[in-house]
A and B are shown apart, each in its own frame.
Chain A
Amino acid sequence: MTIAEDDHPAMSQTTDTDLTSEGAQEMEPRPIAGGVEVLREVGSVLRMSESEAEDGGPGTPDDGEEPDDAETTIINMGPQHPSTHGVLRLMLELDGETVLRTKPVIGYLHTGMEKTGENLTYLQGGTNVTRMDYASPIFNELVFCLAAEKLIGVDLPPRATWIRMLMAELNRLTSHFLFLATNGMDLGSSSMMIYGWREREEGLRILEAITGLRMNHNFIRVGGTAADLPDGWRERLAAYLQTIPERLEEYEALMTHQPIWRDRLQGVGTITTEEALALGATGPILRSTGYAWDLRRDMAHLAYDEVDFDVIVGTYGDSFDRYAIRLNEIRESMRILWQCIEKMPDGDYRVQDKKVTPPPRGRIDESMEALIHHFKIFTEGFKVPEGEVYAAVESPRGELGCYMVSDGSATPYRMHIRGPSFVNLQVLPHLMHGGLIADAVAIISSVDPIMGEVDR
């Protein structure tokens, strides 16, 4: 379904400024043209406040023209609604069943994490950020620690990096299973919900064996990880990975090869590469348009340049592509995990730098120095040199970044997390434009937002 051009009554979100004052901007070739031009053809973002919407006013405050004949209604979806994507509120402007314009309203889960982060030490910071993207918490901790390590300038032993990569890919696996479960549920397949959760549970049990917690692990610490992998992790992980492929085949039979599923997702919520790039979308949304950009391959962090995996790319930019990308990313993550099992290097799981690493617990009883060292790290925290950095990883939702400013003290001066879902949500109006309400649920689900990192 191509995005309709001006079929609808004049609903464009024209603003006062235009590009023509700069010269021949509009003559630039389409692929790198300013995104606003592309988006201007499609009026899909509803810009009005809730009070205006209540007054029943269709049409933006800016344009004086009323829509011809067409009567549109503005309805509200959320923040509490059964589509299990957290507290997202959508104001939809409808012409019958067709969605014309959308305004996502967020902030219902705003937790003040960035402000809280300014009062927590770098050791405590992980507990704070891990609750942002709560479906894949390891990535938040990872990016926070990568930023802090860049500021400190510490190099990690290879085992620490590989353990981190293993945890990250395991978390990607569980996050994508969550996506499959909720996507299935939103489209009516409650059995997929149960299956997805079944797979996720097994993964969570392994995470619990390694980190001690099922979610919000606080396992990735500055300098490495909190603990080493437990004995027998290879067998346990291998046993888990061996059960997945045949079950994925079942899920493919249930979903990919099923006509109802295909009808509901193919052609629904299409986006073009230019739009996605202009709106800052990353991750499966950008890759579904056919644009192969994956930070793991293109700006390799951790040890991704030492493992073999493919970057999955879609073709049409529709919801089906996004679903298929995530399904196949599960397979790629499994590949990486097998390689981690084989190639995990020996050594330290944490850099033995007294500055950032507390002493082993056993030594605290024996040595006064160790006790003082432990005390200082856990109460005052270690100081990080002044500066500012930006570190980013590829999370299951896109580019997850951390911009950190340090003033030389034991707490970050400013800690900002670039949540991929926050930026990805901007594509929602453009995906929903011209579709039906029933597609709205499928589309939100395919964007896979996690409101914790949207609102922070």
Chain B
Amino acid sequence: MALDFSNGLETLDHNFVTAKVEDVVKWARTRSMWPATFGLACCAIEMMGAGGSHYDLARFGMEVFRASPRQADLMIVAGRVSQKMAPVLRQIYDQMMEPKWVISMGVCASSGGMFNNYAIVQGVDQVVPVDVYAPGCPPGPETLIHAIGTLHQKISDGDIFRRREENGGAGAGIHITQLDGQQAPQTIQLGRA
């Protein structure tokens, strides 16, 4: 059927979606955020579990873990960072293109965890700016997805850039709570139905 432009562009209404540029950019950033493979230790196993079929990161567009940091926008530091690994971590972070985000997964990455000793960097935020801290040892897939969801939410809000500025150029530093192994919230029946 030939397009009829007699009414100007009005006939084409149903074929277009209009939005602000910022919203489209945010939509693109959150819906297809590709993580770089940076699994170091036990948290990496749970991260891979989050990519598995029970928890499924694919529904967030994130099941492709890019090996090359040039093709990734999210670095999930999953595991303990040792003294030898810290320069490598920074190198990989530097190779990622802007805009880039960092989730510090697990307590070892967030603060050194239970390993407060000579060998482990006490918090990966000493090396790279962290946007979301996910606690747990290891955080289960549910917590990781909560962290990712929080990051997506903050990007959509634009809040993440505001927080980064507040922190003087460091990462957004959002702390989330651990959500594993918890029952779904129970609804309470009050009085009569």
Residue among B41, B46, B51, B115 with the highest chain A CB neighbour number at 10 A: B41
In the complex, which residues 357-415 of chain A have their Cβ closer than 8 Å to any Cβ of chain B? none
List of B residues within 8 angstroms of A427 by Cβ: none
Interface-side segment among B9-17, B77-85, B152-160, B162-170:
B77-85
Are B42 and A87 in contact, with the CB atoms below 8 A?
Answer: no
Q: Which residues of A contact B41 (CB under 8 A)?
A: 86, 109, 131, 134, 451-452
A41 contacts the other chain (CB 8 A): no
A128 touches B82 (CB 8 A): no
Q: Are A82 and B45 neighbours in the complex by a CB distance under 8 Å?
A: no
Q: Is the CB of B45 within 8 A of A455?
A: no
A115 to B117, CA, bound (A): 8
| CA gap between A214 and B55 in the complex, in Å | 14
Given A86, A112, A197, A214, which contacts B118 in the complex, CB threshold below 8 Å? A112
Residues on the B chain within 8 Å of A245, using CB: none
- Indicate whether A1 reaches chain B with its CB closer than 8 angstroms: no
A313-B46 Cα distance, complex, nearest whole Å: 31
Expressed in whole angstroms, the minimum distance between the Cβ of B14 and any Cβ of chain A is 38
A107 on the interface (CB 8 Å rule)? yes
The proximity string for A residues 251-268 relative to B, scoring 1 for CB distances below 8 Å and 0 otherwise, is: 000000000000000000
Whether a CB of chain B sits under 8 angstroms from the CB of A198 is yes
Known: A208-B181, A215-B46, A216-B137. A111 touches B80 (CB 8 A): yes
* Complex-state Cα separation, A109 to B120, whole angstroms: 9
Task: With both chains docked as a complex, state the minimum distance between the C-beta of A416 and any C-beta of chain B, in angstroms.
Answer: 16
Tell me which of A82, A107, A127, A193 contacts B67 (CB under 8 A): A82
**A-side contacts of B92, CB under 8 Å:** 80
Please report the C-alpha to C-alpha distance between residue A111 and residue B52 in the assembled complex, in whole angstroms.
Answer: 28
Between A112, A127, A208, A451, the greatest number of chain B beta carbons within 10 A of the residue's beta carbon is seen for A112
Task: A128 to B40: give the CA distance in the assembly, Å.
Answer: 17
How near does chain B come to A254, taking the closest CB pair, in angstroms?
15
Number of interface residues of B (CB under 8 A): 36
Which A123-145 residues sit within 8 Å CB-CB of chain B? 127-128, 131, 134-135
Query: Do B45 and A107 touch across chains, with their CB atoms under 8 A apart?
Result: no
Quick check: is B119 within 8 A (CB to CB) of the other chain?
Answer: yes
Q: Which residues does chain B contribute within 8 Å of A451, judged by CB atoms?
A: 41
Most chain A beta-carbon contacts within 10 A, residue among B42, B92, B118: B42
Pairwise interchain contact B54-A201, C-beta atoms closer than 8 A: yes
A194 is an interface residue with CB less than 8 A from chain B? yes
Q: Are A198 and B85 touching (Cβ within 8 A)?
A: no
* Contact pattern, A 148-161, Cβ under 8 Å of B = 1, otherwise 0: 00000000000000
Q: How many residues of A contact B (CB 8 A)?
A: 38
Is A79 an interface residue, CB under 8 A from the partner?
A: yes
* B85 close to A108 (CB less than 8 A): yes
Per the bound structure, the CA–CA distance linking A452 and B38 in Å amounts to: 15
Number of A-B contacts (CB under 8 A): 104
B49 contacts A86, C-beta separation under 8 Å:
no
Interface set, chain A 405-456, CB cutoff 8 A to B: 451-452, 455
Contact residue among B49, B79, B119, B138 (Cβ-Cβ distance under 8 Å from A110): B119
A135–B119 Cα distance when bound, in Å, is: 22
For the residues of B in contact with A, the DSSP-based class is: loop
Q: Does B44 contact A (CB under 8 A)?
A: yes
A194 touches B39 (CB 8 A): no
Which listed residue, A87, A112, A215, touches B45 by the CB 8 Å rule? A215
A452: B residues at CB distance < 8 A: 41-42
Q: Judge whether A172 is part of the interface by a CB distance below 8 angstroms.
A: no
When the two chains form their complex, are residues B52 and A134 in contact, meaning their CB atoms are under 8 A apart?
A: no
Q: Does A178 contact B (CB under 8 A)?
A: yes
List B70-95 residues whose CB lies under 8 Å from chain A. 79-80, 82-85, 88, 92
The reply to whether B45 and A109 form a contact with Cβ atoms under 8 Å apart is no
Considering the chains assembled together, what is the distance between the CA atoms of A81 and B69 in angstroms?
A: 10
Chain A hits for B110, CB < 8 A: none
B117 touches A84 (CB 8 A): no
Cα(A216)–Cα(B49), bound, Å: 15
**Is A80 within 8 A of B42, CB to CB?**
no
Is the CB–CB distance between A86 and B44 below 8 Å? Answer: yes
Q: Which of A84, A86, A127, A214 is the one whose CB lies under 8 Å from B46?
A: A214
A116 at the interface (CB under 8 A from B): yes
Q: Let me know if A200 is at the binding interface, CB within 8 A.
A: yes
Bound state CA distance, A216 and B67, in angstroms? 27
Q: Is B97 at the interface (CB under 8 A from chain A)?
A: no
Given A108-B88, A109-B79, residue A194 in contact with residue B45 (CB < 8 A): no
Contact with B along A188-221 (1 / 0, CB 8 A): 0000011001101100100010001011100000
Complex interface: chain A residues within 8 A of B118 (CB): 112, 115
Chain A residues positioned under 8 Å from B111 (CB to CB): none
> Which residues from 78 to 124 on chain A have a C-beta closer than 8 Å to any C-beta of chain B?
79-82, 84, 86-87, 107-113, 115-116
Q: How far is the CB of B129 from chain A (nearest CB, A)?
A: 19
The answer to whether B135 has its CB under 8 Å from any CB of chain A is no
Cα A181 to Cα B41 in complex, Å, equals 17
Chain A residue with Cβ nearest B92: A80
Q: Measured between alpha carbons, how far is A147 from B11 in the docked complex, in Å?
A: 80
A352 CB → nearest B CB, Å: 30
Residue B48, interface by CB 8 Å: yes
Known A112-B118, A194-B52; further 16 A-B contacts with Cβ < 8 A = A79-B88, A82-B65, A87-B40, A87-B88, A108-B84, A108-B85, A109-B41, A111-B115, A115-B117, A131-B41, A193-B52, A197-B52, A197-B53, A198-B54, A201-B49, A201-B52
Question: Taking beta carbons and an 8 Å cutoff, which residues of B are in contact with A?
Answer: 37-42, 44-46, 48-49, 51-54, 65, 67, 79-80, 82-85, 88, 92, 114-115, 117-120, 137-138, 140, 180-181
Listed in ascending order, the chain A residues whose CB lies under 8 Å from chain B are 79-82, 84, 86-87, 107-113, 115-116, 127-128, 131, 134-135, 178, 181, 193-194, 197-198, 200-201, 204, 208, 212, 214-216, 451-452, 455
Nearest 4 pairs between A and B by C-beta?
A: A197-B52, A112-B119, A82-B67, A134-B42
